[in-house]
Amino acid sequence: MEDDLVLNLTTDNAGPGSPRTINVKKGGKWTDRLKAKRVAKRKAKHPPTVQDDERVPPPKKRSRLVAHDGDEPERERGTAPPRPTQIISSLFTYNPKVDQPEPTRRPRAVGKPSNAPLDSSTFEGLGLDPLLVQHLATKMGIAKPTSIQRAALPVLLPERDPSGEPSRDVFIQSQTGSGKTFSFLLPIVQDLLPLSSLSYIDRSIGTLAVIIAPTRELASQISEVLDALLKLRLRPVNNTGEDSNAPRLTRWLVSGLLIGGSTRAHEKARLRKGLPILVATPGRLLDHLQKTSSFNIGKCRWLVLDEADRLMELGFEDTIRGIIQGLDSRRKLTIQAVDEGKSAEVGGWDWERQRRTILCSATIREDVQKLAGTALKNPIVIKAFEYNNSHALSKQDVITSKSTASSSTNLTPPSQLSQKYVTVPLKLRLVALISLLRSILSQSRGGTTKIIVFLSCTDSVDFHWNLLGSASMGGESAESDESSSSDDEGDRKTKPNEGRIAVASPLLPSTSIYRLHGSMPQPTRLASIKGFSTKSKDQKSQGSAILLCTSVASRGLDLPFVKAVIQYDLPTEGGATEYVHRVGRTARAGKGGEAWCFVAPSEKAWVEWVEGKMGTTAEGGGDEEKSKIQLESVAVDAVLKKGFGGKGTEYEERATEVQLAFERWVLKGKNAELARKAFTSHMRAYATHPSDEKHIFHVRHLHIGHLAKSFALREAPGAITSHPSHLVKNKSVSKGKDKKSKSAASTRVLKGVREKDWSEEHDKDAESRMREAVRAQGRLSKKKGVLMSYGGMNEFQIASGDTLEKLTQGKI
């Protein structure tokens, strides 16, 4: 204060809550003062929370880098260590919150690739349902598809139509034994299997699939395969039933068999309950379509005509046409009833889906093409072909044009089949057959060997079956007892075979012999097929079996483990086609087999003829590697020596002993009648060869006596007079003799007889007794010492023969 200096100093000692003084700028423009005032008010309303002395200091400046010429810049000495030039963010910080999904019980299945090539070497690759694939592999022992299945399944499976077009009818052409049955059974079952998830579907829905077979045996076999296929597990193995999302399938698919043999009332009762899949023969099916009103078949989705060539041979063309018309009319009536509300059918049925027809045949002949034109609509032809392991299917590979398929009429047997023929003299046929059977059975070495022997007629089958089952080799004294043998002994020899399914022969040890032909009762036929196909329970080990049959067993029957087929009598109808069907009973599904033919010396031209009919077989992949099918010739002496054994010509003596044993059996009881009947039936069958084969097969070329020897007959047919009506030739000869004797007698009467001849041929005492009897009757007059008749009657024309006989005997 000494210098009169006054200082106005203010200190901000007030706390944070005390009001601050607002310094307002004085002087200057009024607008600046107004802005300053507003800023001061704004600061007064929002005071800072941090004091001035506690404020965060600003970041330090970066150290300056000193760069030298040609060198990297260096930091100044005495500065802090460098910090990273980039800021790296953490992966798990400052992330938005995401809701976690709830855990599921099972992972979601990933769909199959839609653009991947098809694996045609497995059923999975062909699009078959996993349940069916599992059942085929575990229960039926089928792991991979055959060539025809690889070609047909992509077209027939509803989900794998290669063109995406509506379902078309299919013509399947393939070799016998290639697996055609599964080619149409698997698509049918897979198509109907999804309906099992619907609660309102059961067997009362009616028949949805019909399979027609030409013979009862083939229909029964298809039904057995279908029954085994329908026993599949309806739930995957790894599925324990806890998954509620998986569909639950019900077991409603039931198969039925209509082949006759049972009462129509029993069959109608089964049809009334419902048979979703039906296997039938044509005649029986048409009968129920026309007469059974409870036959619910209006919703039929599938129609299969198996062995179409055989259907045409048996004359079922009109029957098939009637079946197709019946199915169409039943469908129209059912749809009409549904539209009018008069039907009790389940709702939601797809009535727009048309019936699909499959026709299977090994050949495409003219009559088969005619049937295809009647039964199929817009068809495609599927043929089996060779594949490489890495070959992928395409539509061009599977589907061939109808013109191309129809042009290939040659039928080839399986390439792995060994085909042989033996030129056998007629009198050696029977012993050569026994020798060949023995040699084939000896190769089995205790295993299972099954052989099929084809004969010409049913009587021949019955004769050979009884002969092998009854004849014995221990009958050295049989010849001495031939005259004393009675019919009772013969009946005792033949009665043990009556009612039996199989017989055994001492010449063929550990072997059961069965028979099969169309004249047998249906239960016996089915029992024979079942016994031949399955293992015998009476034997500890699997025994061998032989089936004697006619051509009824040449089509469609899948008889397992058949090692050899012997055509003891060459086919009379069908030619090369029938031959290929017969040999097709062996070498099935890629397995090996043997085919033997017995050819007479006059029939040697048949071998070259049938080789030309069968065409060629492919040994490799190219056309240049195709070779002509040839039958291997085997000498009859080699067959006899291998079957009967022995050193040198000892086999001839053993064959003779076998022949004599058979002949002794024929001479006993009623066996001769059985042999004669078989011989005459064989002759009739031999005469039925078509005209284009008459230059090979003609009765005039046969030695009748030698042929009779093959039926164990010791006498030529001309000397057999017990039953001349069975022999056509002898009957004509006997008729000729009778005509000659009658003509001679009539000539003698007309010309008169001499006194010498009359006295030699007539008894004078009889004449005198006759005259006395006539006189006693008083009907004649006497003229010139000679009795003369009156009224234009002869002297011996009296009342009746009985009266005349009584008169001559003096009883009147």
Cα(276)–Cα(205) distance, rounded to whole angstroms?
A: 7
- 413 band by pLDDT with thresholds 50, 70 and 90: confident
Convert the pLDDT of each residue in 575-591 to its tens digit: 888 898 898 888 877 78
pLDDT at 598: 96
Q: How far is CA 499 from the centre of its chain?
A: 29
Among 459-463, 467-471, 541-545, the least confident range: 541-545
Distant-in-sequence contacts of 768-772, Cβ < 8 A, 24+ apart:
769/808, 770/796, 770/808
pLDDT at 219: 92
Cα(466)–Cα(448) distance, rounded to whole angstroms?
A: 23
Residue whose entry in the numeric block shows the structure tokens 């059977």? 437
* 514, two tokens: 């069965």
785-803 average pLDDT score: 46
Cα(695)–Cα(701) distance, rounded to whole angstroms?
A: 10
Burial class (CB in 10 A: 0-12, 13-18, 19+), 52: exposed
pLDDT at 719: 42
In terms of average pLDDT, the best of 52-56, 80-84, 210-214, 742-746 is 210-214
419-430 average pLDDT score: 93
Among 391-405, 419-433, 622-636, the least confident range: 391-405
367-376 average pLDDT score: 90
* Interacting residues of 629 by C-beta distance below 8 A, sequence separation 6+: 412, 413, 419, 611, 614, 615, 616, 617
pLDDT at 660: 92
- 108 band by pLDDT with thresholds 50, 70 and 90: very low
**Strand runs (DSSP E) across 355-449, as ranges?**
356-361, 380-383, 399-400, 417-423
Top-level class of domain 417-618+627-718: alpha beta
Cα(367)–Cα(353) distance, rounded to whole angstroms?
A: 29
Q: Are 118 and 393 a contacting pair, CB within 8 Å?
A: yes
Top-level class of domain 130-236+249-343+354-405: alpha beta
Burial class (CB in 10 A: 0-12, 13-18, 19+), 459: buried
Among 227-231, 310-314, 567-571, 808-812, the least confident range: 808-812
- 481 band by pLDDT with thresholds 50, 70 and 90: very low
The residue ranking higher by pLDDT, 597 or 738, is 597
Among 271-275, 398-402, 572-576, 801-805, the least confident range: 398-402
Cα(15)–Cα(18) distance, rounded to whole angstroms?
A: 5
433-440 average pLDDT score: 95
Distant-in-sequence contacts of 336-345, Cβ < 8 A, 24+ apart:
345/299
- 465 band by pLDDT with thresholds 50, 70 and 90: very high
776-780 average pLDDT score: 53
The sign of the dihedral angle between the CA atoms of 230, 233, 236, 237 is negative
The residue ranking higher by pLDDT, 319 or 88, is 319
Convert the pLDDT of each residue in 196-255 to its tens digit: 888 778 888 999 999 999 988 899 999 999 999 999 988 776 665 555 556 678 888 999
Cα(573)–Cα(579) distance, rounded to whole angstroms?
A: 9
- Domain chopping of the chain, boundaries: 130-236+249-343+354-405, 417-618+627-718, 721-752, 753-812
pLDDT at 423 over 60: yes
**If we measure between CA atoms, which residue out of 371, 379, 376 comes closest to residue 402?**
379
Cα(572)–Cα(691) distance, rounded to whole angstroms?
A: 11
Cα(658)–Cα(438) distance, rounded to whole angstroms?
A: 13
Cα(545)–Cα(213) distance, rounded to whole angstroms?
A: 26
- 53 band by pLDDT with thresholds 50, 70 and 90: low
Question: At 386, which helix (H) or strand (E)?
Answer: none
The residue ranking higher by pLDDT, 335 or 497, is 335
**Strand runs (DSSP E) across 23-109, as ranges?**
65-66, 74-75
CA-derived radius of gyration, the chain: 50
Among 151-165, 193-207, 316-330, 434-448, the least confident range: 151-165
pLDDT at 175: 77
Cα(85)–Cα(2) distance, rounded to whole angstroms?
A: 62
Cα(794)–Cα(582) distance, rounded to whole angstroms?
A: 71
The residue ranking higher by pLDDT, 66 or 170, is 170
**How many CB atoms are located within 10 Å of the residue 278 CB?**
26
* 661, two tokens: 């044993």
* 46, two tokens: 């929002």
75-94 average pLDDT score: 58
Among 266-270, 644-648, 785-789, the least confident range: 785-789
**If we measure between CA atoms, which residue out of 13, 459, 384 comes closest to residue 173?**
384
The residue ranking higher by pLDDT, 188 or 265, is 188
Residue whose entry in the numeric block shows the structure tokens 């007959």? 713
Phi, psi of 324 (to 5 degrees): -65, -40
pTM flag (> 0.75): no
List, edge to edge, every strand of the sheet that includes 544-549: 503-505, 508-516, 544-549, 450-454, 562-567, 593-599, 417-423, 632-634
pLDDT at 793: 43
**Strand runs (DSSP E) across 364-497, as ranges?**
380-383, 399-400, 417-423, 450-454
Mean pLDDT of the chain: 75
Say whether 693 sits in a helix, a strand or coil.
Answer: helix
pLDDT at 592 over 70: yes
What are residue 544's DSSP bridge partners? 511
Residue whose entry in the numeric block shows the structure tokens 């056509």? 728
How much of the chain is in helix, strand and coil states, percent to nearest 5? 40, 10, 45
**If we measure between CA atoms, which residue out of 385, 416, 360 comes closest to residue 586?**
416
Say whether 170 sits in a helix, a strand or coil.
Answer: strand
Among 63-77, 102-116, 281-295, the least confident range: 102-116
pLDDT at 217: 87
Instruction: Give, in order, the Cα–Cα distances in Å from 206 to each of 185, 198, 252, 265, 301.
Output: 18, 15, 11, 18, 11
716-739 average pLDDT score: 45
**Strand runs (DSSP E) across 23-79, as ranges?**
65-66, 74-75
pLDDT at 805: 53
Question: At 485, which helix (H) or strand (E)?
Answer: none
631-648 average pLDDT score: 91
Q: Are 334 and 353 a contacting pair, CB within 8 Å?
A: no
